[in-house]
Structure 1
Amino acid sequence: MSKQFTVPPVVFPSGGGVNPNVGNINQRRVPTAPFQPSSSAIPFMAFDMGSVPSSSGSLGGTISTSAVSASASFEDEEPLLDELGIHPDQIWHKTRSILNPFRVNPAAHKDSDLSGPIFLYLSFCLFQLLGGKIQFGIILGWIVVSSIFLYVVFNMLAGRNNGNLDLHTCTSVVGYCMLPVVILSAVSLFMPQGIGVVRYATAGVFVVWATRSCANLMVALADGVQEHRGLIAYACFLIYALFSLLVIF
């Protein structure tokens, strides 16, 4: 026996017979925007940009002002070489003062630096490499030992009270006076290998040149060591003779 269920009739109302309280159930609801800014919202986050002309104008003015200040500060910055402590004009002035062994300018070496000596050391290593000698480690080690050796010898001669030459200045002077040895290394590339007397004589001239320049600078930059000029010159001669042996052999 089948059961009978009472189903209410389904009524499809027309457009004109819509119940005003219920509304049209077939009519789709219009979606609302997910974000509707209120009147107190931030001006630049509003959708209507035309409603806040004053705020946008002030924002653009701020950006342009900051851009101008940034460009002005960039122009006022020092060059990259000056920030790294490398002054090409100063290096050239100090190097040129070594070219005349009889008239060295001590005033040019008052401000010591290591950029010029490093350039000369690399040039010396390069010329030795062109001659078939890979001596980067040897040259670097001898440079450090030579600078410390001359610094200790000078302070022992000048005494504790008169020794006013620091290690940085000593390293700078020794490095710049390496210029004759660097020139010797470049000249040796074009010299015949068989004639030993010519090579020894040429090396002796450049070693005396470097020794005289270094001794004059050391005495001029320090105080109270005029009577020890010969001993300082002897220490400088040992240093540059040692480097010249790398060129000869």
Structure 2
Amino acid sequence: MTKEFAVPPVVFTSGGNTGVGGPNVPQRRVPTAPFQPPRPSNSGIPFMSFDVGSAAASTSSGTIYGGPIGGGGSTNFDDEEALLDELGIHPDQIWKKIRSILNPFRVSHMVHQDSDLSGPILLYMSFGLFQLLAGKIQFGVILGWIVVSSIFLYVVFNMLAGRTGNLDLHTCTSVVGYSMLPVVILSALSLFLPEGVVRFVVAAVFVLWASRASTGLIVSLADGGDEHRGLIAYACFLIYTLFSFLVIF
């Protein structure tokens, strides 16, 4: 036999302060529709929706106003500088400096007034590439010797010139790098030269060429080196002799 329980009926009212539970019980809210933007009027500024289809429809019905960006709607790339000029690389200037080294008796120091490192890096990479073709991986050795040689020549010149010397390290590195052109040519010719006395004789000629070119440039570009030309030439001779040993051995 089942027992019946008397359950009072529950009445839900629409008022916020009446109903079951008393006036302090919050009532359930009815969800409202999301925000709907106003429809485009006839002013010529339609509403841009995130829907691709509606965006295409709105653009076909009117012109979307983008507003001025940077003073104009488009970017003019004709006024921009070339990428090499922004990086400080001038191929015509590099070619003039390399061509000035080709004649060791008439080295033009005027084109070397503005020192740069783009040409020397190109010659270093060429030297390392020719050494690689000869079966010698010496990129790190070449870079290390270049740094040590530049610092060595910089210290020697300033010690000889004293207070009158105005040679900076950047100019010294540029001169040493561009004067590496004879050694680079020697490394290219060594691929076809036989081993023996011939290679030593050719290497001596190219070392004298590089030493004369670097000595003339340093004495012309810096003050206080005319009376110490012989010692500067000896320092340059030692530097390019070391690089020639990389080619010969």
Whether the TM-score (by the shorter chain) exceeds 0.5 is yes
Q: What residue is the counterpart of 2:13 in the other structure? A: none
**Which amino acid letter does the alignment assign opposite residue 130 of structure 2?**
F
Q: Is the 8 A contact 1:112 1:168 kept in 2?
A: yes
Task: State the Cα distance separating 1:62 from its structure 2 match.
Answer: 4.0
Q: What residue is the counterpart of 1:67 in the other structure? A: 73
Task: State the Cα distance separating 1:139 from its structure 2 match.
Answer: 0.8
Q: What residue is the counterpart of 2:230 in the other structure? A: 230
Matches within 5 A, 1:130-141: 130-141=133-144
Secondary structure (helix, strand or coil) at the match of 2:72 reads helix
Given the superposition, is the C-alpha separation of residues 77 and 190 from structure 1 closer, same or farther in structure 2, using an over 3 Å criterion? same
Q: Is the 8 A contact 1:37 1:46 kept in 2?
A: no
Give the unaligned 5+ runs of structure 2: 1-32, 50-56
> Structure 2: how far apart are the matches of 1:125 and 1:132?
10
Give the unaligned 5+ runs of structure 1: 1-31
Q: What residue is the counterpart of 2:84 in the other structure? A: 81
Q: What residue is the counterpart of 1:162 in the other structure? A: 164
> Structure 2: how far apart are the matches of 1:147 and 1:63?
50
> In the comparison of the two structures, how many residue pairs are matched?
207
Matches within 5 A, 1:64-213: 66-68=72-74, 70-71=75-76, 74-159=77-162, 161-193=163-195, 196-213=196-213
Q: What residue is the counterpart of 2:245 in the other structure? A: 245
Give the TM-score, by structure 2 length: 0.76
> Structure 2: how far apart are the matches of 1:169 and 1:64?
41
**Which amino acid letter does the alignment assign opposite residue 73 of structure 2?**
A
> Structure 2: how far apart are the matches of 1:169 and 1:97?
16
Matching of residue 37 in structure 1 with residue 38 in structure 2 = yes
> Structure 1: how far apart are the matches of 2:37 and 2:125?
69
Q: What residue is the counterpart of 2:20 in the other structure? A: none
> Structure 1: how far apart are the matches of 2:170 and 2:208?
24
> Structure 2: how far apart are the matches of 1:135 and 1:34?
70
> Structure 2: how far apart are the matches of 1:64 and 1:225?
54
Q: State the superposition RMSD in angstroms.
A: 2.8
Task: State the Cα distance separating 1:44 from its structure 2 match.
Answer: 3.4
> Structure 2: how far apart are the matches of 1:227 and 1:36?
87
Given the superposition, is the C-alpha separation of residues 141 and 33 from structure 1 closer, same or farther in structure 2, using an over 3 Å criterion? closer
Give the TM-score, by structure 1 length: 0.76
Q: Is the 8 A contact 2:39 2:47 kept in 1?
A: no
Given the superposition, is the C-alpha separation of residues 49 and 184 from structure 1 closer, same or farther in structure 2, using an over 3 Å criterion? closer
TM superposition outliers: structure 1 runs of 4+ over 6 Å:
46-50
Q: Bigger radius of gyration, 1 or 2?
A: 1
> Structure 1: how far apart are the matches of 2:152 and 2:197?
30
Percent of pairs with identical residues: 69
